Amino acid sequence: NDYKYRRLKKQNLIPVKRLPDALVIGVKKCGTRALLEFLRLHPDVRAAGSEVHFFDKFYHKGFEWYRDKMPPTLEGQITMEKTPSYWVTRTAPKRVQAMNPAVKLLAVVRDPVTRAISDYTQSASKSVSLPRFEDLAVVNISWGGSQAVAASWPPIRLGIYLRPFKRWLKRFNRESLLLISGERLVADPAAEMARVQEFLGLKRVITEKHFYFNSSKGFPCLLKSESRSTPHCLGKTKGRSHPHINPSTLETLREFYKPFNEKFYELCGINFGWP
Ligand code: A3P
């Protein structure tokens, strides 16, 4: 039996756990779960189901601990994991590079204003007494009534993609980091997944045929997946309805993000067209 096992293993017929070949590093509330669930439709992709938080929280546990969190794969299959907080973890680029300098990185980005509202909506769902979004995002800075954007409030701060992006580019080539439009992932998931599959060197298996638009949910959903053979959407916590936000607050936030967005477009070479 031992002999048989070793022979099968040698022929690469027994799946083994491996460190990730590709990581979804962020950005929180931009569609990272959708991206990972869509990728899992591919027979050559295996991904850890929940966020592992190795490069931010559990790095001290070491690479063997990390490997053990991965699903077993055959050679040629891609091992993946997504933890959106890697995007803003200062030590993450260096640590990821130490694991594998040739790792492929994926980050979903989305209009920072909607991202902030999404982030806030998630917090509000956990804490009933949270003040209104408007009062957290824009604050009085003097008795005279002047107001400023609360730039250090995490829902606002995380929408400044420029700074973390620069940090990742200090360690990785631009070609190793694929930026995915969160808006396009909703509007045309098959087209965005075509880019993703090409980037990962995968055959184009995930296509229009996998998706349908669920109009009551307002999002693309899956006709079937590895775990379920009937149509289904992502869970209730993905694609929540957002509160109505005062238009003047939205305008203030758009003005605030504008210069950061423009510099980000310039640096990454993609105009995401956020309003
Ligand atoms: P909302 O719930 O605020 O609409 P993440 O997985 O990174 O936390 O991102 C969650 C966001 O993914 C959701 O935010 C939603 O807008 C977006 N999303 C993208 N595609 C989706 C899909 N097919 N189903 C549900 N949500 C999707």
What CATH number is associated with residue 26?
3.40.50.300
pLDDT per residue as tens digits for the range 52-100: 999 999 999 999 999 999 999 999 999 999 999 999 999 999 999 999 9
Query: Which numbered atom of ligand 1 lies nearest the CA of 220?
Result: 23
Q: Does any ligand 1 atom lie closer than 6 A to the CB of residue 121?
A: yes
Position 107 scores a pLDDT of 99
pTM over 0.90: yes
Within-domain flag for 168 = yes
Distance from Cα 13 to the centre of ligand 1, integer Å: 36
Q: Is 194 inside any structural domain?
A: yes
**Using a 6 Å cutoff on CB, does residue 185 contact ligand 1?**
yes
Read off the pLDDT of residues 211-227 as tens digits, 9 standing for 90 and up.
999 999 999 999 998 88
How many Å lie between the centroid of ligand 1 and the Cα of residue 109? Answer: 11
DSSP annotation string for the chain = -HHHHHHHHHTT-S-EE---SEEEEE-TTSSHHHHHHHHTTSTTEEE-SS---TTTTSGGG-HHHHHHTSPEE-TTSEEEEE-GGGGG-TTHHHHHHHH-TT-EEEEEE--HHHHHHHHHHHHHHH-TTPPPHHHHHEEE-STT--EEE-TTSHHHHTT--HHHHHHHHHHS-GGGEEEEEHHHHHH-HHHHHHHHHHHTT--S---GGGEEEETTTTEEEES--SS-SS-B---TTSSPPPPP--HHHHHHHHHHHHHHHHHHHHHHT------
179 within ligand 1 shell (Cβ under 6 A): no
The residue to mutate among 24, 25, 27, 29, having the most atoms of ligand 1 within 8 angstroms of its beta carbon, is 29
Give every CB contact of residue 34 below 8 A, 6+ residues apart in sequence: 185, 186, 189, 219, 220, 234, 238
| Structure-token pair, residue 38 | 């869509």
274 lies in some domain:
no
Domain containing 44: what range?
2-268
Cα–Cα distance measured from residue 229 to residue 12, given in angstroms and rounded to the nearest whole number: 28
* Torsion angle of the four alpha carbons 250, 182, 129, 139, in this order, in degrees rounded to the nearest 10: -30
pLDDT at 238: 97
Q: Is residue 273 part of a domain?
A: no
The ligand 1 atom nearest the CA atom of 108 = 7
The pLDDT, as a whole number, for residue 171 is 98
- The response to whether residue 186 sits with its C-beta less than 6 Å from ligand 1 reads yes
Task: Quote the number of domains for the chain.
Answer: 1
What is the percentage of the chain residues whose pLDDT exceeds 90?
A: 89
**Position 10 in a domain:** yes
The pLDDT of 20-49, averaged and rounded, is 97
User: What is the predicted pLDDT for the residue at 180?
Assistant: 98
**Residue with CA closest to ligand 1 atom 26:** 239
**Cβ 141 vs Cβ 244: under 8 Å:** no
Confidence of residue 1 (pLDDT cuts 50, 70, 90): confident
Q: Is residue 275 part of a domain?
A: no
Residue 104 lies in a domain: yes
